[in-house]
Amino acid sequence: MIPMFAMGASDHDDHGHDDHGHGDHGDGHGGHGDHGHGEHGGGSSWWMYLLGFLVLAPTLMCLFNGVVGSSGVSYNPATGEYSSPILMAIILAPAIGAVINGTIGQKLPRPIVNLVGCAAIGLAFLFSISAVGSLMGLEAPAAEGHMAHQPIVYNAFKWIWVGNFQIPAKFVLDPLSAVMILIITGIGTLIHIYSAGYMSHDPAYARFFTYLNLFCFAMLILVLGGNMLLTFVGWEGVGLCSYLLIGFWYTDDAKASAGKKAFVVNRVGDFAFIIGMFLIFTAAESLDYQAITQLATTPETAGPLMGIATAATIFIFIGCTGKSAQIPLFVWLPDAMAGPTPVSALIHAATMVTAGVYLIARMNALFILAPTTMWIVVVVGGVTALMAATIAVVQNDIKKVLAYSTVSQLGYMFMAVGSGALTAGVFHLMTHAFFKALLFLGAGAVIHGLHDEQDIRKMGGLRKSMPIIHWTFLVGCIAIAGVPGFAGFFSKDEILWNVFAQVHAGAPMPGLHVVMWIVGVLTAGLTAFYMFRLYFLTFHGESRVAAGVTPHDAPAAMAMPLIILAALSAVGGYLGVPHILGGLVHWIPGIGEAMSHHILHTWLEQVFTPSANALSIRFEHDQEVVMEWVTMGVSVVVALGAIAASWMLYARPSDVPKTVAERASLPYKILSNKYYVDELYALLFVKPTLLIGRFFHKVVDEVLIDLLLVNGAAWVMESMGAIGKRLQDGNVQRYAGYVVLGLGAIIFLLLIK
């Protein structure tokens, strides 16, 4: 099977790949069926599973819908909730895939493994579309003439039921989790298909798909879980899968220890998460999101929550800094690039690392009660964004650049949610998922095409040999740089505007938002700069590829996801057109009206209404429009300027970068050593921990515990046991005697005394 499945082989040309360029990821099935005709007969069986998946999945889907009705949504008048087992189907589909590939995957032929892996997540995606479609239909009038979507709730079973600590396995699909599951399953599907190509040479492909499916399963639990504990289960689950996938090539010591580092650093955050959860439970006596939101937004009941809000949210935010790689716990993410590139794309760019942003958005009602935390979030996010962007400028590993870029973009998202612009945060989460997944997959394709070369100094001029990768990568760079019209522009601009303009009670100093806005703009400029540095060094200039390596373009299974993601990165931003630009899209027939009002904002409004009431824009309306134009103009100018600078420095042969590096050797050294954070942590935490550990090992453990307590207790136990043993001498009459003696003793003790 393996030779037949030579889709990664270098003899592929790129004809017919443009067939994949469907902009629509939802229903582009028809076009793929006959796609395979242009391929080499034996050279690629990838279309077989794709075909199978595309035929099988809709069939199953129709069956499912036929059996349970329109995604099975039913109304329960007793609770006033809509319920549908389809939520279970979404979650279980990848779990089943993981079980199949995890148990018998090694014995199955490769195409079947690929089919199972892709079909599992693909089905989840189709189910998600169906469920979200139902959710759109469940509109009910809410306050102030807005429409609210009734969440779809599914109570799977009673999970923990002890006294008043009652945790049901309850899954909730509301507009926020709808956005998340579409990202997870949609991009997940693309990355699964991509992986079939990327991992085609790896013997452990079944294990890879098992982990990948397992990850999707955990991630879906994380976002669909209706209470914090369920989210925590998903939170730990994705952490575990992340660890397994970073250390996927565990025979390499560095990669295995990168996995360990990620796991350990995340444990610090998880611990804080747990403490936050306990705090909330003590005040709210519930971990249910709906209940917590209800309590927090009702003035009469918010009292107890107010007391713990600041502490609890800070702890939860520390948890988020772990999972979402923010200061101080960001150090694991760059190392996590040791994993296979599809993993970096899915887990360490598009989905898992955004869990922190999701959690804050989910718990916005509680965070809004704690202005201090909100400001901490903004500052941490901003500083992280700037710091990571500066590091990215001097990195030479293609994946490391993208990793620091991810840290930086996550910082943006935290700036957004911290300043109360939750929609903007989620919006950037989405567009970032598009373009960063695209960039990672593109980088992966480059690495694949160059036979595992990751150093951009050994690339260059690849645009001729890798046209598809080149063009899609360029789209990704434009999108992340914030060039007007592309996805990143809309979301980044919305964040910057909100940071600049939105006021939240309790700002520690009046000028802080302006400072943070400047940080944001600087970061935007740096982002455009380092991304285009990366782009130019990789695809332009003279080829610096090592001799003997023939670069080849992405094979079809890898090209298709790139093209779809490029399309999404180009147009994804139109889900959130700012109202000052509304006029530009208003003319589009059919959807123009909705688009001019920021589709995503309308969609998420009900989830964020409670906290939106606590915020206000600090400008008069007229002033507001002007200021918004001004801030937008500034960021566009900065981005374009940065691109131009990077073109001048890196697109043509130039001595300037070298000169700068030599002239400013100290800053350069600091940057290329990533501010010595790892070294600092080693000095501050690792070494003292080891010292304390050694002390405890030598003194406390070996002497006090081993010698005195354990051996002492064991000695006492054993001598007691020996006495008990002695009593059991094998004589049945003595045993009868014990019965009589026991009775006598009871009588004596109870009656005679």
Partner 1 sequence: MNGISQISLAELRLLAPMLVVTVTGIAVLMLEVFQRSAMSRRYQAWLSVIGLGMAGLDTLYLLARGTEAFAMSQLLYMDGFGFTLDLVVLLGGALAALIAPAYLESHRLERGEYYGLVLFSVVGMMVMNHGADLFTIFMGLELMSIPIYCLAGYFRHSSASAESSMKYFFLGAFASALFLYGIAFVYGMTGTTSLVGVSRVMFSGLGSVDVAGAEAYAASSGFVEYVGLGAEGGPLFALEFLPAMAVLLILAAMAFKVAVVPFHAWTPDVYSGAPSSVVGFMATGVKTAAFGALVRVFMVGFFDQPARLSETGWLSVFFWLALISMVLGNVVAIVQSSVKRMLAYSSIAHAGYIMVGVVGASYSPEGFLQLESVLFYLLTYTLGTVGAFGVLAWFGKRGEEATTYEDLAGVAKKYPGAALAMTIFMLSSAGIPPTAGFMGKFYVFKAAVQTGETAMIALAVVGVLASVSGVYYYLKVIMAMYMKTPRREVHGVAGLELKTALVVCAMGTLLLGILPGIGLGISRAGVLSFLGAPPQVRVELNKLRAPVEAGRAELGAPE
Partner 2 sequence: MEGSVPLEWYLILSAAIFAIGGVGVLLRRNAIILFMCIELMLNAVNLTFLAFSRYRTGALGALDLDGHVMSFFVIALAAAEAAVGLAIILSIFRHRRHINVDDGNLLKN
**Residue 263: which H helix or E strand, with range?**
helix 253-284
Q: Considering beta carbons, is residue 203 or 737 the nearer one to partner 2?
A: 737
Q: Which does 742 bind (CB under 5 to 8 A by kind): partner 1, partner 2, none?
A: partner 1
Closest CB 747 distance from partner 2, rounded Å: 14
Query: Applying CB under 8 A, which residues contact partner 2?
Result: 725-726, 728-733, 736-737, 740
Among candidate residues 311, 227, 306, 238, the one with its CA nearest the CA of residue 270: 238
DSSP state of 682: I
Cα radius of gyration rounded to whole Å, the chain:
29
Interface with partner 1, residue 546, by CB under 8 A: no
Residue 504 phi, psi dihedral angles, 5° rounding: -125, 135
| Token code pair at residue 65 | 């819908």
Return the range that interacts with partner 1 (CB under 8 A); candidates 153-161, 358-366, 615-623, 701-709: 153-161
Interface with partner 1, residue 136, by CB under 8 A: no
Among 509, 547, 666, 732, contact with partner 1 (rule: CB under 8 A): 732
The one-letter amino acid at 85: P
Interface with partner 1, residue 80, by CB under 8 A: no
**Where are the extended beta strands (E) located within 119-231?**
139-141, 147-149, 152-162, 165-173
Interface with partner 1, residue 693, by CB under 8 A: no
Interface with partner 1, residue 738, by CB under 8 A: yes
Return the range that interacts with partner 1 (CB under 8 A); candidates 57-65, 217-225, 410-418, 739-747: 739-747
Q: Considering beta carbons, is residue 146 or 725 the nearer one to partner 1?
A: 725
Interface with partner 1, residue 157, by CB under 8 A: yes
Return the range that interacts with partner 1 (CB under 8 A); candidates 146-154, 373-381, 698-706, 720-728: 720-728
By the 8 A CB rule, do 169 and 159 touch? yes
Residue 97 phi, psi dihedral angles, 5° rounding: -55, -45
Per DSSP, what are the bridge partners of residue 288? 227
Interface with partner 1, residue 55, by CB under 8 A: no
Q: Which does 751 bind (CB under 5 to 8 A by kind): partner 2, partner 1, none?
A: partner 1
Q: Which does 583 bind (CB under 5 to 8 A by kind): partner 2, partner 1, none?
A: none
Q: Considering beta carbons, is residue 41 or 724 the nearer one to partner 1?
A: 724
Closest CB 709 distance from partner 1, rounded Å: 13
By the 8 A CB rule, do 399 and 442 touch? no
Within 8 A by CB and 6+ apart from 307, the residues are 283
Among 254, 549, 630, 741, contact with partner 1 (rule: CB under 8 A): 741
Q: Considering beta carbons, is residue 543 or 728 the nearer one to partner 2?
A: 728
Q: Considering beta carbons, is residue 710 or 741 the nearer one to partner 2?
A: 741
Q: Which does 158 bind (CB under 5 to 8 A by kind): partner 1, partner 2, none?
A: partner 1
Q: Which does 750 bind (CB under 5 to 8 A by kind): partner 1, partner 2, none?
A: partner 1
Interface with partner 1, residue 722, by CB under 8 A: yes
Instruction: Report the phi/psi class of residue 177: left, alpha or beta, with left for phi > 0 and alpha for psi in -120 to 50.
Output: alpha
Q: Are β-strands 139-141 and 147-149 bridged in parallel, bridged antiparallel, or unpaired?
A: antiparallel
Residue 75 phi, psi dihedral angles, 5° rounding: -105, 130
Closest CB 73 distance from partner 1, rounded Å: 16
Interface with partner 1, residue 709, by CB under 8 A: no
Among 55, 625, 626, 717, contact with partner 1 (rule: CB under 8 A): 717
Q: Considering beta carbons, is residue 127 or 217 the nearer one to partner 1?
A: 217
Q: Which does 141 bind (CB under 5 to 8 A by kind): partner 2, partner 1, none?
A: none
Return the range that interacts with partner 1 (CB under 8 A); candidates 120-128, 504-512, 569-577, 719-727: 719-727
Three-class SS of residue 156? strand
Among candidate residues 353, 418, 432, the one with its CA nearest the CA of residue 381: 418
Q: Which does 254 bind (CB under 5 to 8 A by kind): partner 1, partner 2, none?
A: none
Q: Is omega for the bond preceding 328 within 30 degrees of 0, making it cis?
A: yes
Q: Which does 745 bind (CB under 5 to 8 A by kind): partner 1, partner 2, none?
A: partner 1
Q: How far is CA 70 from the centre of its chain?
A: 30
* d(C-alpha 275, C-alpha 238), whole Å: 19
* d(C-alpha 268, C-alpha 552), whole Å: 43
Interface with partner 1, residue 751, by CB under 8 A: yes
Three-class SS of residue 566? helix
Q: Where are the alpha helices (DSSP H) in 368-511?
A: 371-394, 398-418, 422-449, 467-481, 487-501
Q: Considering beta carbons, is residue 288 or 605 the nearer one to partner 1?
A: 288
Q: Which does 752 bind (CB under 5 to 8 A by kind): partner 2, partner 1, none?
A: none
Q: Which does 264 bind (CB under 5 to 8 A by kind): partner 2, partner 1, none?
A: none
Q: Considering beta carbons, is residue 250 or 738 the nearer one to partner 1?
A: 738
Q: Considering beta carbons, is residue 18 or 718 the nearer one to partner 2?
A: 718
Q: Considering beta carbons, is residue 685 or 735 the nearer one to partner 2?
A: 735
Q: Considering beta carbons, is residue 254 or 746 the nearer one to partner 2?
A: 746
Closest CB 746 distance from partner 2, rounded Å: 16
Q: Which does 717 bind (CB under 5 to 8 A by kind): partner 1, partner 2, none?
A: partner 1
**# binding residues, partner 1 (CB under 8 A):** 29
Q: Which does 41 bind (CB under 5 to 8 A by kind): partner 2, partner 1, none?
A: none
Q: Are β-strands 139-141 and 165-173 bridged in parallel, bridged antiparallel, or unpaired?
A: unpaired
Interface with partner 1, residue 745, by CB under 8 A: yes
Other C-beta atoms closer than 10 Å to the C-beta of 651 total 17
Closest CB 149 distance from partner 1, rounded Å: 25
By the 8 A CB rule, do 272 and 316 touch? yes
* d(C-alpha 569, C-alpha 313), whole Å: 33
Within 8 A by CB and 6+ apart from 468, the residues are 14, 17, 553, 554, 559, 562, 563
For 471-538, give the secondary structure using H, E and C. Answer: HHHHHHHHHHHCCCCCHHHHHHHHHHHHHHHEEECCCCCCCHHHHHHHHHHHHHHHHHHHHHHHHHHH
Q: Considering beta carbons, is residue 140 or 751 the nearer one to partner 1?
A: 751
Q: Considering beta carbons, is residue 711 or 719 the nearer one to partner 2?
A: 719
Q: Are β-strands 502-504 and 615-617 bridged in parallel, bridged antiparallel, or unpaired?
A: antiparallel
Other C-beta atoms closer than 10 Å to the C-beta of 139 total 12
Closest CB 712 distance from partner 2, rounded Å: 24
Interface with partner 1, residue 697, by CB under 8 A: no
Among candidate residues 270, 386, 425, 400, the one with its CA nearest the CA of residue 348: 400
Among candidate residues 680, 686, 701, 691, the one with its CA nearest the CA of residue 260: 686
Q: Which does 587 bind (CB under 5 to 8 A by kind): partner 2, partner 1, none?
A: none
Q: Which does 37 bind (CB under 5 to 8 A by kind): partner 2, partner 1, none?
A: none
- Which long-range contacts does 695-702 make (Cβ < 8 Å, 24+ apart)? none
* d(C-alpha 268, C-alpha 319), whole Å: 7
Q: Which residues bind partner 1 (CB under 8 A)?
A: 157-159, 161-162, 717-718, 720-722, 724-725, 727-728, 730, 732, 734-736, 738-739, 741-743, 745-747, 750-751
